[in-house]
Structure 1
């Protein structure tokens, strides 16, 4: 600058004494892909448009509420499990048109479970509205592609995938793995196991999942088994609208009460069930809500039917709940804390009880595809009892918190280092970048994110000619920075050794 001065005087020159600071990126911003009732923002369509929300009320405002889940009543076949009994006959509740119970829309209930378990800001990609067509594979994959231009999401969850046929479900999950581990490399997929509500002795769903998923990008994902019996749906949320044929309900309840010998007041009440043209001025007029409350209290079969429907609707895949757990643990402890040994809210029990011995094959297998167990413990509730990625045999990426911590470190430093693109590739720039990275990693170490008694034990940052770069690298415009970090790993197995000693006194 001295050569530029022309007039005698005093000139002030300010120099930056400190490097840029690194801002830690968000670690728990899941993106949910699925079907919604609506997709509208004050007249503007949100179809296939990633939209950020922060609460369930916002989800309802933009995407509506639950689907209209209805059930048909049919007599039980030989190999079917009865849902309720009326008189001497057993009945099952089925989806209309012969659809299986899994052929339903899961996203809304999944969002309820997500926010119940500590969920916060997230993205919703609505790929369609509720219709008779049901869930389809191509729209789900297209919804995943919509996330390519979004920088903030760090997790991908697709609750509706389990409503597909098993092969299509696996295809969507493989597509999400490719998105996370190959295209973006900065987000983590939480997967559900198709038919994960079944026992492993019943066409083992875990073995089918492991056998079909493949081996690509497994360290960018985790899977959980079994599904969950939740308390999201209450009996008060149900009523006559839960049945396809209300007249069938009235018929069964009348038969239960004695048919023609039933009390006349109950006959009058049942005669009103399902009639849309009831006269409000009639003395016997009752609203649907009043009818529902009376029948629920006086007709055991009616309460059994609603209880069976409630149990069906409350059987949910666990990925959304785990996205909430990830968020809660990240906010309370940090992304470096394994999201395990945590109880699940609004969960009554796992759909399948897993013993200590049964979990061995889930957690450790020769194929390496570790499945995290959700187990019930006496006096403790339902706990997440696993913290492994699907790449369970990898010493580098075995644990969920290790992979997610590394994603956070990489993204934070990548965004901070963009400020030095096209800066002179000289020692002063190298020192600045090293100092910036070292300051950031020191702060992570102080908070318990890196292992080591001192910063020197926890990490090292190298950048320089003859150290990480050759003269040819500099000529070609490369500035290479090498960072070594000692990530903290969970104490997955605690061994306490007991041995008897001689009496000393």
Structure 2
């Protein structure tokens, strides 16, 4: 017992800690979303290109969403995609269409107005999301006032590679995020999307704190036969570095995030009601119920709200109801990455980071743009050439839509081909590394080594009991080594290096993955 120096008669108190240092588990489900938001200011302060931690959707709304006007005005729209009703010679498979007066009309978006960030955040929280980082790289850009051609993939020129890359690089100073997600990455060109994904994987590998969740270009409206071209393009563009830190899901999912109240006539033809009139009230078959409503809209009737006028149009015109239905279906097709971040968060909170986020549903998903069979999924799971596995989202009779895979992009690597293994190792590495900081000013001697071993062993025993490590006994599940002759030499001690080796069995008992880390201690004089 170390007593203070006694200089005068009296009572001296010496307090000693009842418990040794312990490992505090790091959070495992903190996604960082990078993309475009409606706004990014709060109380006069800009949060553009500022990584900000939020804890709820209400907090996201307060900082990144437009404020609602006073009643009875309609609530502010946070996302306003624009669509055009374009006459076609024939029906197109990959676009909504309607038959009107003997003519086919495609429901085509203005690509400059398509964004995924806001609805992806909603999907994240609908699936159990909690803490998250938001990196707003800007606000919405101007529309093109032109519809997308039915044969084209959506590329939004307002979504810029440099913006998203800068947002990703800002996270280099943040150790807490464990997942990187760019919902709008698929709105880039193939080349720019590949550059972004490779940069994200490289940063993940360098930092060792997070994975990246990717979506596949073409997953929004896949061709039933040639969809494999989209898979090939994705594999060709992800590079060869950091693959165990990446995970991809295919296809997109049709959701119920947006409702009838989120879409109205202002989303059609850029708000130009005159272009809508020939479809709803053609001269060859006039609709007497629709005409006065359109007149009120054109004259800017202030006695009725947009919502009231829209409801009147829905009741008066079957064609208008069909148009709005198709627009909603299109606007509700979202990349699955945001929903998967919520699914992973729920799994981590209910069971643990070692639980595979598979054989579970995405809340809010009700349809898929392509229904993959078991035979079609096979080539996605395993690719003999690249090994880049892509996880399928599939529909099963009686079960609904399920996430049917939990593989990383490093599908040919026996150690790292499964997502729970990579995420569990990140969790263990970061928790143990941060815990050893408590010993940075301790002498590099046997007492310190034994303290470090006991601290990490106690933590890993808890993880083993919870099911995170495999084995009938702790010795089958993990080993911790630290000390002269085992992990360090005399030279290491003189130079002030504390070396720790941790072996963990994540998939099979006694088949260890080795974690080694070095901490610089105070040097001997």
> Structure 2: how far apart are the matches of 1:450 and 1:153?
23
1:176 paired with 2:186, answer no
CA contact (8 A) 1:155 1:190 kept: yes
> Structure 2: how far apart are the matches of 1:255 and 1:8?
106
1:232 paired with 2:257, answer yes
Change (3 A) 1:257 1:54: farther
1:462 paired with 2:481, answer yes
- The counterpart of 2:126, out of the listed 116, 134, 143, is 116
Q: Which residue of 1 aligns with 2:464?
A: 445
Q: Which residue of 2 aligns with 1:216?
A: 241
Q: Which residue of 2 aligns with 1:252?
A: 279
How is 1:320-399 mapped onto 2 (pairs within 5 angstroms)?
320-366=338-384, 367-399=386-418
> Structure 1: how far apart are the matches of 2:425 and 2:290?
66
- The counterpart of 2:115, out of the listed 91, 105, 108, is 105
CA-to-aligned-CA distance 1:114-150 (integer Å, 9 cap, x gap): 1111111101000001112511000100001111111
Q: What is the Cα deviation at residue 269 of structure 1?
A: 2.7
SS of the residue corresponding to residue 36 of structure 2 reads: strand
Change (3 A) 1:76 1:486: same
Q: What is the Cα deviation at residue 18 of structure 1?
A: 3.8
CA contact (8 A) 1:194 1:209 kept: yes
Q: Which residue of 2 aligns with 1:503?
A: none
Q: What is the Cα deviation at residue 16 of structure 1?
A: 4.5
Q: Which residue of 2 aligns with 1:498?
A: none
CA-to-aligned-CA distance 1:361-414 (integer Å, 9 cap, x gap): 111111210000101111111110001100011111111111101101111111
1:68 paired with 2:106, answer no
1:403 paired with 2:422, answer yes
Q: Which residue of 1 aligns with 2:451?
A: 432
> Structure 2: how far apart are the matches of 1:7 and 1:258?
108
SS of the residue corresponding to residue 36 of structure 1 reads: coil
CA contact (8 A) 2:4 2:12 kept: no
Change (3 A) 1:279 1:176: closer
CA contact (8 A) 1:26 1:152 kept: yes
1:300 paired with 2:318, answer yes
Q: What is the Cα deviation at residue 151 of structure 1?
A: 2.1
Q: What is the Cα deviation at residue 270 of structure 1?
A: 3.0
1:84 paired with 2:98, answer yes
Q: Which residue of 2 aligns with 1:191?
A: 214
> Structure 1: how far apart are the matches of 2:339 and 2:3?
64
Q: What is the Cα deviation at residue 462 of structure 1?
A: 1.0
SS of the residue corresponding to residue 112 of structure 1 reads: helix
SS of the residue corresponding to residue 348 of structure 1 reads: strand
CA-to-aligned-CA distance 1:417-472 (integer Å, 9 cap, x gap): 00111311110111111110111111111111111111121111111111211112
> Structure 1: how far apart are the matches of 2:487 and 2:176?
31
Q: What is the Cα deviation at residue 174 of structure 1?
A: 1.2
Structure 1 unaligned regions, length at least 5: 281-285, 491-505
Change (3 A) 1:287 1:39: closer
Q: What is the Cα deviation at residue 14 of structure 1?
A: 5.0
SS of the residue corresponding to residue 481 of structure 1 reads: strand
CA contact (8 A) 1:450 1:487 kept: yes
TM-score normalised by L of structure 1: 0.89
Q: Which residue of 1 aligns with 2:60?
A: 59
> Structure 2: how far apart are the matches of 1:267 and 1:67?
28
> Structure 2: how far apart are the matches of 1:267 and 1:404?
59
1:47 paired with 2:72, answer no
TM-score normalised by L of structure 2: 0.86
CA contact (8 A) 1:402 1:489 kept: no
| Number of equivalences | 476
CA contact (8 A) 2:39 2:65 kept: yes
CA contact (8 A) 1:452 1:458 kept: yes
CA-to-aligned-CA distance 1:329-348 (integer Å, 9 cap, x gap): 00000001011111111001
1:130 paired with 2:140, answer yes
- The counterpart of 1:93, out of the listed 96, 104, 107, is 107
Q: What is the Cα deviation at residue 9 of structure 1?
A: 8.2
> Structure 2: how far apart are the matches of 1:54 and 1:169?
29
Change (3 A) 1:43 1:19: same
**RMSD, matched Cα:** 2.2
